[in-house]
């Protein structure tokens, strides 16, 4: 389809972008890498009067250290995240999961901030941000605020961003020494995950001391598998991991759609959690 008519602006600073968003009110959309917004425009699922292109704002790109956290600019591309040495060292789960997003063409254009702001529960990175306890820094007319990932994703394609706010950076706690793995089931390389599981595990003296499990496409927002996390505490072998993984779908409300039934998604969550944790712990 042909997209609807809209005005276009390309600000050169965050402040200029915020002014454009404030002037347009609810009628503006932010364009980052375009890999989420352009399909919505083409299918006429979005009807903005103004598109605010933030792709040329230099302060929104790059990765830096800030004490015990990494700070990643919202406009940092997936390709840059995958290959950044700081991300690979301190947030390996994010690098690994990002490498599975779509295909190389999308990863060169798509951005970390754009993916998170889109808030699609079938996207890989919202569940990873939740697993890593990331904070999303949002700029608006009243200044900047840090929103924990657990509060940022509100509903299907809905985030805590107000219409006049802009996601500017993502703060990720360093997780050196933790095992990690992202496992997903998808029919073809470029498609959304039917289910994905992000596992982050700390071992102590041969057993699981702490586990964080994030679920992709198991509800209207990304989820943490709290029951499985609790059951994994103390797990000391493949059998214990498999038993804990049986709780992975507890509390989830997966959708019924053409790709899968809720029951099949629950089965996948259990299977993929077992695989992800075994790989993350080295027990597999």
Number of helices (H) and strands (E), helices first, in the chain?
12, 14
44-54: average pLDDT: 94
| Tens digit of each residue's pLDDT (9 = 90 or more) over 73-125 | 999 999 999 999 999 999 999 999 999 999 999 999 999 999 999 999 999 99
The verdict on residue 57 lying in a domain is no
Do 75 and 136 lie in a common domain?
yes
pLDDT tens digits for 261-275? 999 999 999 999 999
Instruction: Let me know if residue 146 belongs to a domain.
Output: yes
Mean predicted lDDT score pLDDT of the chain: 96
What is the reported pTM?
Answer: 0.96
For residue 87, how many C-alpha atoms fall within 13 Å in the half-sphere facing its CB?
25
3-state secondary structure 72-140: EECCCEHHHHHHCHHHHHHCHHHHHHHCCCCCHHHHHHCEHHHHHHHCCCCCHHHHHHHHCCCEEEEEE
Nearest to 266 by CA among 276, 279, 252: 252
Phi, psi for residue 161 in degrees, rounded to 5: -65, 130
| pLDDT at residue number 6 | 94
Token digits of residue 257? 């759609």
Residue 160 CB-density burial (10 A; 0-12 exposed, 13-18 middle, 19+ buried): middle
User: Domain end: 121, 144, 173, which one?
Assistant: 173
Q: Where a domain ends, among 122, 147, 173?
A: 173
Is 273 within the bounds of a domain?
yes
Q: Among residues 141, 156, 173, which one ends one of the domains?
A: 173
> Across residues 149-172, what is the average pLDDT?
98
In a domain? residue 39: yes
**Residue 48: pLDDT band with limits 50, 70, 90:** very high
Residues 169 and 191 in one domain: no
Question: Which domain, by its residues, includes 41?
Answer: 7-52
- Quick one: 39 and 81 in the same domain? no
When pLDDT is cut at 50, 70 and 90, the band that residue 131 belongs to is very high
Task: Name the pairing type of β-strands 50-53 and 7-9.
Answer: parallel
Q: State residue 279's pLDDT score.
A: 98
Is 2 among the domain residues? no
Whether 167 and 182 map to the same domain: the answer is no
Q: Is residue 87 part of a domain?
A: yes
CATH of the domain at 41: 3.30.43.10
Q: Is residue 240 part of a domain?
A: yes
Residues 72 and 141 in one domain: yes
Residue 42, pLDDT score = 87
Percent of the chain topping pLDDT 90: 92
How many domains, the chain? 3
Tell me, yes or no, whether 68 and 149 share the same domain.
yes
Average pLDDT over residues 15-21: 98
pLDDT digits (tens, 9 = 90+) for 163-209: 999 999 999 999 989 999 999 999 887 788 999 999 999 999 999 99
- As a whole number, mean pLDDT of residues 216-220 equals 98
């Amino acid at each position: 389809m042909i997209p609807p008519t809209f005005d276009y602006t390309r600000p050169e600073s965050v402040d200029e972008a915020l002014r454009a968003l404030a002037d347009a009110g609810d009628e503006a959309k932010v364009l980052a890498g375009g890999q989420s917004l352009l399909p919505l425009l083409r299918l006429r699922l979005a009807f903005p009067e103004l598109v605010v292109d933030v792709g040329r704002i230099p302060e929104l790109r790059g990765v830096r250290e800030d004490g015990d956290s990494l700070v990643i600019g919202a406009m940092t591309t997936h390709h840059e995240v995958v290959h950044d040495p700081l991300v690979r060292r301190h947030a390996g789960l994010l690098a690994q999961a990002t490498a599975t997003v779509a295909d190389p063409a999308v990863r060169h254009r798509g951005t970390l901030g754009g993916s998170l702001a889109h808030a699609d529960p079938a996207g890989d990175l919202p569940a990873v941000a939740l697993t890593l306890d990331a904070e999303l820094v949002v700029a608006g007319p009243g200044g900047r605020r840090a929103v924990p990932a657990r509060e940022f994703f509100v509903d299907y394609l809905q985030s805590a961003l107000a219409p006049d706010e802009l996601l500017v950076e993502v703060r990720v706690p360093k997780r050196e020494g933790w095992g990690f793995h992202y496992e997903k089931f998808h029919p073809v390389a470029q498609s959304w995950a039917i289910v994905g599981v992000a596992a982050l595990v700390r071992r102590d003296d041969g057993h699981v001391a702490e586990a964080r499990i994030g679920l992709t496409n198991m509800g209207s927002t990304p989820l943490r598998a709290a029951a499985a996390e609790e059951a994994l505490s103390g797990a000391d072998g493949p059998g214990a991991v498999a038993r804990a993984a049986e709780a992975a779908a507890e509390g989830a409300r997966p959708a019924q759609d053409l790709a899968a039934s809720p029951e099949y998604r629950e089965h996948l969550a259990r299977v993929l959690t077992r695989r992800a944790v075994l790989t993350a712990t080295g027990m597999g």
